Structure 1
Amino acid sequence: MKNIIPKTAAIHGITGYGRSSISVVIPVLSSMGIQVCPLPSAVLSSHPGGFANYTFYELTNEMEQAIECWKKENIKFDCIYSGFLGSAKQIELVKRLIEYNDSNLIVIDPVMGDHGKLYKITDEDMINGMFSLIEKSYVITPNMTEACLLAGEDYDDKALDFQEVKHLLQKLSALGPANVVITGVETSNGSCGNFGYSRKDDSYWKVDYKHIPAQYPGTGDIFASALTGYIVKGLDLPSAVAKASRFVSLAVEKTYIAGTPVREGILLEDMLFELNNENNIGRGEMINE
């Protein structure tokens, strides 16, 4: 029987301070009419961005027990959405959750690094495990650092032309995911955007957004969450990317104008209504160069 309210299993960390991970996943998806079933991977006092002192406690054992309980209760999900993971073993647990579910709607945000640097917990075992996890996905949403890492390319913060972005998208798709969305791409024509590729019809598209001279923690979590919500609601991927990009752009711009501390993240609370704004229409620009 189809769920009246779609259910999404969300595997993310819990951050006590700063808008990231579960603290943004739940409000974004809930406001879009989707039930969020959290599977916490770790508990942090805050996200690491901008904080010299923070705690990190891994929840691998708790994850394993929760998945076994769900399996015994025959709890199934319309979507499985994985973000921050605390160890390579947790990757194996996410794969176990995927295997017993019927849904093919698997969203993987391969959280491993940003700005050309890997996070402290990203070791070789995690990187190797991530390859096997993204094989199973409907869509992956790496940033440029993660895209280069998975594609086996050297990271360079220079602007890229479309052929270089296309090369990255193709290499990532060859790893297994049906669709790839690379976020935060600076292009050689001076624009910034999110680029997508669908292997099914061999199509490419892009969504440009206004550049804001600030880097807010949790932005990728918010984008991936909004994207997941629009996909669960039945939008095609180019439309989902366009609407998620617009939402994040509006929220980032409002936060920048407000001048709040960068480490606190995006002012999400006052922007949630925009997720269901019927004027938020559009589709990614198809490109065939």
Structure 2
Amino acid sequence: MTQAPHLGRVLVLAGSDSGGGAGIQADIKTITALGGYAATAITAVTVQNTLGVTGVHPIPLDIVEAQARAVLDDIGADALKTGMLGDAAMVELVSRILDSAKGIPAVIDPVMVAKGGASLLAEQAVGALRTLLIPRAALLTPNAPEAAVLTGLSVETTDDLRRAGEALLELGAQALLMKGGHIAGDRVVDLLITRHGETAFEGERIDTRHTHGTGCTLASACATGLAQGLTLTESVARAWNYVHEAMLRAPGFGAGHGPLDHGWVVRR
């Protein structure tokens, strides 16, 4: 039997989205579309659609850990990606799982608020995320509001985004993808910041309400690239272009913040 090609195995620890636009569903679609292999440890089941989140059911910690161990002990992983964690106890558990997976790069998406405004991370968990997960991040992917919460800095401009990124490097992250979508302007600028320099990813702002799951999608796309052996810059560049096109091709579903077209690259 011939050996299967290296797909790039990504273990995602995150919450599910019943509407399919964000969370675990977006993660699986993204990883698969980019040629990777997705496995999951689901941290919460949410009730949501494009109009917002109306319910959250946390998964017991022992079940989350068992899911992750089952995957790591058998299938293995080439990259890890975190999303919605919910509370400090879940953050602490995930930090222990990351420690047990030494040498596997972790992409940490510090999910705090859903697109519709619902809180997805307890206020008391922010400190745990800051001290336990940021130092374990091969790549941290905060948007401007998340960066402001994590650093205590005002993040209203691209220069603010850069300063917040430098502060997050000081907290121990190996690299930051600082997302500028919340910063006003005709163009969107995301900054990939490492201790060796900065790379900007810039494009015209897309005038659309179909932005549900953009953060989850971008982080999962980055994790897939790392799992497949791409460099960090290559991974982010491919992810950035993938999300941009997925937004342009959004199917138009729902009355609120609609989902992206995760499958566009497959159909092409």
TM-score (norm 2): 0.85
- The offset of 1:6, in angstroms, is 3.0
Letter in 2 for 1:227: C
Residue in structure 2 matched with residue 282 of structure 1 by the alignment: none
Matches within 5 A, 1:200-279: 201=196, 203-215=197-209, 216-255=211-250, 259-261=252-254, 262-269=256-263, 271-273=264-266
Residue in structure 1 matched with residue 79 of structure 2 by the alignment: 79
Q: Is this contact kept in 1: 2:79–2:224, CA < 8 A?
A: no
Q: Is this contact kept in 2: 1:114–1:145, CA < 8 A?
A: no
CA distance in 2, matches of 1:50, 1:20: 13
Residue in structure 2 matched with residue 280 of structure 1 by the alignment: none
Residue in structure 2 matched with residue 281 of structure 1 by the alignment: none
Residue in structure 1 matched with residue 16 of structure 2 by the alignment: 14
CA distance in 2, matches of 1:248, 1:240: 12
CA distance in 2, matches of 1:187, 1:145: 9
CA distance in 1, matches of 2:244, 2:231: 20
Matches within 5 A, 1:78-227: 78-113=78-113, 119-131=118-130, 132-156=132-156, 160-161=157-158, 163-185=159-181, 190-199=186-195, 201=196, 203-215=197-209, 216-227=211-222
In structure 2, runs of 5+ residues without a counterpart are: none
Residue in structure 2 matched with residue 26 of structure 1 by the alignment: 28
Q: Is this contact kept in 1: 2:16–2:46, CA < 8 A?
A: yes
Write out the 4+ residue segments of structure 1 that deviate beyond 6 Å after TM superposition. Answer: 186-189
- The offset of 1:106, in angstroms, is 0.9
Q: Is this contact kept in 2: 1:138–1:178, CA < 8 A?
A: yes
Aligned residues: 260
Structure 1, 98-107 or 37-46: larger mean CA deviation: 98-107
**Which of 1 and 2 has greater Rg?**
1
Q: Is this contact kept in 2: 1:79–1:103, CA < 8 A?
A: no
Deviations 1:76-129 (A, max 9, x none): 4221111111221111111111111132411100001378x9743433321011
RMSD of aligned residue pairs (Cα, Å): 2.7
TM-score (norm 1): 0.80
Residue in structure 1 matched with residue 48 of structure 2 by the alignment: 46
Letter in 2 for 1:253: L
In structure 1, runs of 5+ residues without a counterpart are: 278-289
CA distance in 2, matches of 1:232, 1:129: 26
CA distance in 1, matches of 2:129, 2:8: 26
Greater RCO structure (CA 8 Å; 6+ sep):
2
Structure 1, 137-146 or 246-255: larger mean CA deviation: 246-255
Deviations 1:173-227 (A, max 9, x none): 111111000113467884212111111x2x1111112211234211111111111
Letter in 2 for 1:184: G
Letter in 2 for 1:206: A
Quickly say closer, same or farther: Cα 1:123–1:259, change in 2 above 3 A.
Answer: closer
CA distance in 1, matches of 2:184, 2:32: 37
